[in-house]
Chains A and B, each alone.
Chain A
Amino acid sequence: MNYVPGTASLIDDIDKKHLVLLRDGRTLIGYLRSIDQFANLVFHQTVERIHVGKKFGDIPRGIFIVRGENVVLLGEIDVDKPCDTVLQQVSIEEILEEQRQQQQTKQETEKVKMQVLKDRGLSIPKADNMDEY
Chain B
Amino acid sequence: MFRFQSLDDDCTLEEEDDGLIEEEDEIDQFNDDTFGAGAIDDDWQEEHKRLAELDERVGLGGGEVEGEVDSGGSKPGSSIHRPSSSVNPPLQSSLPPFGFSSSSPGLPPQDADDRAREGGLAESLARLILEADPAIAGVGAAERPRPSPSSSASSLSVLHSLDQPRVLPQSSSIPHQRQPQLPPGPITSGLPSSSMLSYQQQQQLLRRGTAPMGQMNSHNIWDNSMSFGPVSVSPGLVTHMEDSPLMSIIKEGGLPKRPPQGRSDEGRDLSERVPPPRSSSPVIGSPPVRAVPIGTPPKQPMSHSLNHQIHHPTTVHVRAPVPHRYPAPFPERLSPNTLLNIANSPLCRGPFAPRVGPVLSHLQRAQLLNSQVAGFPRGGPAPLLPGGGFRPFFGGPPPPHGHRMCPPPPHGPPSHIPVRHNTTHLHPQHRRMLTQRMQSRGGDRGRTGGDRSSRDPYSNLMTQKEKEWVTKIQMMQLQSTDPYLDDYYYQNYYEKMEKRQDKERDISSNSKKEHATKLITPQVAKVEHTYRPVQFAGSLGKLTVSSVNNPRKMIDAVLTTRSDDEEKREKQVWNKRRQILYTVEKMYSLLLEVQDFEKRFVQTPEEEREALLEQHKTNTEQLSSSLMEKEWDHRVSDELCVMIMSVRKGKRLVARLLPFLPSSQAAAVVMAIARNLPALAKKDKQDQVLGWLVEPLSPVIQSLSSSALTDLLQELQGGEGQLAVVLQNKFGVTMLYLILSEGERMQSCDPNCQLMDDNRWTELVFSVTRELLSVPASSLSPPLFTPPNLLSLFSRYVDRQRLELLQDKLQISASSR
- A: which residues have CB within 8 A of B? 1, 3-7, 9, 11, 14-15, 17, 31, 33-37, 42, 44-45, 47, 58, 60, 62-63, 79-80
- Report whether B471 and A62 are in contact in the complex, using a CB–CB cutoff of 8 Å: no
Residue from the list B297, B418, B453 in contact with A3, Cβ < 8 A: B418
B430-451 toward A: CB 8 Å interface, digit per residue (1/0)? 1001100110011000000000
- Report whether A3 and B462 are in contact in the complex, using a CB–CB cutoff of 8 Å: no
Question: Counting CB contacts under 8 A, is B47 at the interface?
Answer: no
A92 to chain B, nearest CB (A): 11
- Report whether A6 and B473 are in contact in the complex, using a CB–CB cutoff of 8 Å: no
Closest 10 CB pairs of A and B: A79-B387, A60-B392, A1-B418, A15-B459, A34-B462, A37-B473, A45-B393, A33-B461, A3-B421, A11-B467
Question: Counting CB contacts under 8 A, is B407 at the interface?
Answer: no
B101 to chain A, nearest CB (A): 55
- Report whether A1 and B441 are in contact in the complex, using a CB–CB cutoff of 8 Å: yes
Question: Counting CB contacts under 8 A, is B458 at the interface?
Answer: yes
B755 to chain A, nearest CB (A): 58
Residues in B whose Cβ lies below 8 Å from that of A14? 462, 467
Residue from the list A1, A11, A79 in contact with B470, Cβ < 8 A: A11
- Report whether A33 and B392 are in contact in the complex, using a CB–CB cutoff of 8 Å: no
Q: 12 more A-B contacts (CB under 8 A) besides A3-B418, A11-B470, A11-B471?
A: A1-B438, A3-B421, A4-B426, A4-B475, A15-B461, A15-B462, A34-B466, A36-B470, A44-B393, A44-B458, A79-B387, A79-B388
- B: which residues have CB within 8 A of A? 295, 297, 386-388, 390, 392-394, 416, 418, 421, 423, 426, 430, 433-434, 437-438, 441-442, 453, 456, 458-462, 466-467, 470-471, 473-475, 478, 490
Residues in B whose Cβ lies below 8 Å from that of A9? 470-471, 474
Residues in A whose Cβ lies below 8 Å from that of B393? 44-45, 60, 62-63
Residues in A whose Cβ lies below 8 Å from that of B430? 5
Residues in A whose Cβ lies below 8 Å from that of B295? 37
- Report whether A37 and B470 are in contact in the complex, using a CB–CB cutoff of 8 Å: yes
In this complex, what residue of B is CB-closest to A45? B393
Residue from the list A17, A33, A79 in contact with B462, Cβ < 8 A: A33
Residues in B whose Cβ lies below 8 Å from that of A80? 387
In this complex, what residue of B is CB-closest to A58? B392
Q: A1-B418, A33-B462, A60-B393 are in contact. Are A15 and B470 (CB under 8 A)?
A: no
Most buried by B among A7, A15, A45: A15
Residues in A whose Cβ lies below 8 Å from that of B418? 1, 3
In this complex, what residue of A is CB-closest to B362? A33
- Report whether B458 and A7 are in contact in the complex, using a CB–CB cutoff of 8 Å: no
Kindly state the separation between the CA atoms of A15 and B449 in the bound complex, as whole angstroms: 11
B363 to chain A, nearest CB (A): 10
Residues in B whose Cβ lies below 8 Å from that of A3? 418, 421, 423, 434, 471, 475
Residues in A whose Cβ lies below 8 Å from that of B437? 5
B433 to chain A, nearest CB (A): 7
Kindly state the separation between the CA atoms of A24 and B483 in the bound complex, as whole angstroms: 39
- Report whether A45 and B462 are in contact in the complex, using a CB–CB cutoff of 8 Å: no
The dominant DSSP class at the B interface is: loop
In this complex, what residue of A is CB-closest to B297? A36
- Report whether A15 and B460 are in contact in the complex, using a CB–CB cutoff of 8 Å: yes
In this complex, what residue of B is CB-closest to A83? B389
Residues in A whose Cβ lies below 8 Å from that of B460? 15
Residue from the list A4, A11, A60 in contact with B478, Cβ < 8 A: A4
- Report whether A4 and B474 are in contact in the complex, using a CB–CB cutoff of 8 Å: yes
Q: A37-B470, A45-B390 are in contact. Are A5 and B458 (CB under 8 A)?
A: no
Residues in A whose Cβ lies below 8 Å from that of B467? 11, 14
A76 to chain B, nearest CB (A): 12
Residues in B whose Cβ lies below 8 Å from that of A1? 416, 418, 438, 441-442
Most buried by A among B386, B392, B426: B392
- Report whether B386 and A79 are in contact in the complex, using a CB–CB cutoff of 8 Å: yes
Residues in B whose Cβ lies below 8 Å from that of A11? 467, 470-471
Kindly state the separation between the CA atoms of A34 and B461 in the bound complex, as whole angstroms: 7
- Report whether B475 and A15 are in contact in the complex, using a CB–CB cutoff of 8 Å: no
Kindly state the separation between the CA atoms of A7 and B474 in the bound complex, as whole angstroms: 9
Kindly state the separation between the CA atoms of A31 and B441 in the bound complex, as whole angstroms: 22
- Report whether A15 and B456 are in contact in the complex, using a CB–CB cutoff of 8 Å: yes
In this complex, what residue of A is CB-closest to B416? A1
Q: List 28 A-B contacts (CB under 8 A).
A: A1-B438, A1-B441, A3-B423, A3-B434, A3-B471, A4-B426, A4-B475, A4-B478, A6-B490, A7-B474, A7-B478, A14-B467, A15-B456, A15-B460, A17-B390, A31-B390, A31-B458, A34-B466, A35-B470, A37-B295, A37-B470, A45-B390, A45-B458, A58-B392, A79-B387, A79-B388, A79-B390, A80-B387
Residues in B whose Cβ lies below 8 Å from that of A47? 390, 392
In this complex, what residue of A is CB-closest to B473? A37
Kindly state the separation between the CA atoms of A10 and B470 in the bound complex, as whole angstroms: 9
Kindly state the separation between the CA atoms of A3 and B297 in the bound complex, as whole angstroms: 19
Residue from the list A6, A33, A37, A58 in contact with B458, Cβ < 8 A: A33
